[in-house]
Structures are given as C-alpha cells and as structure tokens.
C-alpha cells in the first residue's frame, strides 16, 4: 500500500450488509435476455410481416398503376391534342386555301368582266360608227327596194288602186260630192269595179294624167285629200330619215 493510500480513511461495512456480498462476475454486465416467444407469437409475427409486405407490394402496384395511368392519360391526351391540332390546322388550311382560291377566282372574274365591258363598249362604239356611216346607204337601199316592190305590185296588181281609193274615201266627209282624180288607166279600173257605188253616192272618177298611177287625189267641198303615190312615198321616206322623192324605176 502506498503512502498516499495509507493516509486515506477506511470505511467500515456494517455486519448486516456483509451477508449480502457475493463475488463479482462478468455476466453481471451482460444485456438481459428477452423472454423467448411462443410459436403462436412467432406465427402471428410472420403473418404481420407478410401482410405488411403484401400491403407494401400493393402500394407499389397502385403507385405503378397510377404512374402508368398518368403516363397513358398524358400520352392519350397528347395524341388527342395532336389529332385535334392537326384537324384544326387542316381545317384552317382548307379555309385559307379556299379563301385564296375564291379571291383569285373573283379577281380573275373581275378581269374578265372588265375585259368584256371594254369589248362591249368598243363594239357599241363601232356599231354606232358603222350605223352612222352606213345609215344613209342603207336608207337609200331600202327606198330603192321599196320602189321596186311598189312598181312591181302596180304592174302585177293594177286593181290595188281600189284599196287606195277606199282608204282615201274613209277620210272624206260624209254626204259630200267627191271627185276622184286618178290616172286614166286607174279610172278605167274604177269604172269597171266601183261604178255602181260611184253612182250611188254621186261620186265621179276623173281621169287625170298628172296623177301617177297607183295614187289618187280626192276633191271635196271641204278641201282636198292627197293620196297620190308621191305624197304617200314622201311619208315613208321621212320615216326613214330621207327626203328622196318618188321616182319610177
């Protein structure tokens, strides 16, 4: 014993506590052992762990299904969006193309209408110029043809003087003495076809070589009715814008 320890006070253990003394062993420091589980407890623990494992697997499957559904829905939505976008783009493209074609067709139609309008304007101007240039010639041609027709009619049907005289008598006042001046050849026709009527009304056919055949002049107490061929012809020529007199062809 060292000098330092020799000077330390010594503690005395009471006698009654000496009986409780026992030798120290290393087992006194060991962890206390848990009581061993029974087979039922072990089976229950295994069932709990199996249920937990299955629940974990189910959770994993649910999450995988959710992720797959999300991905599938995203893919379907993307595909649907692409399809709708493509359809909308195609529809807008068709609309734009149709509008462009319509505008182009309208522009082309406007050009055609303008060209046609110009053509019609030119045609009207040319026709007006042609009419102005040819009107006198056409009038003269028409009058020449009319002269030939009248002359031929008088030659073939000399009795046409009867209708001329009848028309003139329609304009004569009633109950008046009438002297009908006609060409001598026409006077013979009147005597042959109208003598009884002339006598009935007191009318008289007067042969007059100054009257062209095919016409007549009626002298009444009220005045004169000029139905000569020259006068009737001048009216026809005036309607055609001409002053050309009657000339036998």
Q: What is the CA radius of gyration of the chain?
A: 71
The pairing of strands 216-220 and 179-182 is: antiparallel
pLDDT at 196: 92
Distance, CA of 231 to CA of 237 (rounded, Å): 10
User: 8-12, 43-47, 114-118, 139-143: which range is least confident on average?
Assistant: 8-12
Give the fold, CATH level 3, of 158-249.
Answer: hypothetical protein PF0899 fold (3.30.2320)
pLDDT at 207: 96
pLDDT in tens, 192-236: 999 999 998 889 999 999 999 999 999 988 889 998 888 888 888
Residue 180: pLDDT band by 50, 70, 90 thresholds? very high
**CA 241 distance to own-chain centroid:** 47
pLDDT in tens, 44-98: 888 888 888 888 888 888 888 788 877 777 677 777 877 887 888 888 888 888 8
* pLDDT above 80 (res 129): no
* pLDDT above 90 (res 17): no
Distance, CA of 212 to CA of 94 (rounded, Å): 84
Quick one: three-class SS letters along 189-240? Answer: HHHHHHHHHHHHHCCEEEECCCCCCCCEEEEECCEEEEECHHHHHHHHHHHC
- Contacts of residue 241, defined as CB under 8 A and 6 or more positions apart, other chains included, come to 135, 139
Question: How far from 49 is each of 60, 61, 198, CA to CA, in Å?
Answer: 16, 18, 153
Q: Are 189 and 154 in contact (CB under 8 A)?
A: no
Over residues 34-48, mean pLDDT:
79
User: 110-114, 147-151, 172-176: which range is least confident on average?
Assistant: 147-151
Over residues 176-191, mean pLDDT:
93
pLDDT at 86: 81
Distance, CA of 221 to CA of 203 (rounded, Å): 12
């Amino acid at each position: 014993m060292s000098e330092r320890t020799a000077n330390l006070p010594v503690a005395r253990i009471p006698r009654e506590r000496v009986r409780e003394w026992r030798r120290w062993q290393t087992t006194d420091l060991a962890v206390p052992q848990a009581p061993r589980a029974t087979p039922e407890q072990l089976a229950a623990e295994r069932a709990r762990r199996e249920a937990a494992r299955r629940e974990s697997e189910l959770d994993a499957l649910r999450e995988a299904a959710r992720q797959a559904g999300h991905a599938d829905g995203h893919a379907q939505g993307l595909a649907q969006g692409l399809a709708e976008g493509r359809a909308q783009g195609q529809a807008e493209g068709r609309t734009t193309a149709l509008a462009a074609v319509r505008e182009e067709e309208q522009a082309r139609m406007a050009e055609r209408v303008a060209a046609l309008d110009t053509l019609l304007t030119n045609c009207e101007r040319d026709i007006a110029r042609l009419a102005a240039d040819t009107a006198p010639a056409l009038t003269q041609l028409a009058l020449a043809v009319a002269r030939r027709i009248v002359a031929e009619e008088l030659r073939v049907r000399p009795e046409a003087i009867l209708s001329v005289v009848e028309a003139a008598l329609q304009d004569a006042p009633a109950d008046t003495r009438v002297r009908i001046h006609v060409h001598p050849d026409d006077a013979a026709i009147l005597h042959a076809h109208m003598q009884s009527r002339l006598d009935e009304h007191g009318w008289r056919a007067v042969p007059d070589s100054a009257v062209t055949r095919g016409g007549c002049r009626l002298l009444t107490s009220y005045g004169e009715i000029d139905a000569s061929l020259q006068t009737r012809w001048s009216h026809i020529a005036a309607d055609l814008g001409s002053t050309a007199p009657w000339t036998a062809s």
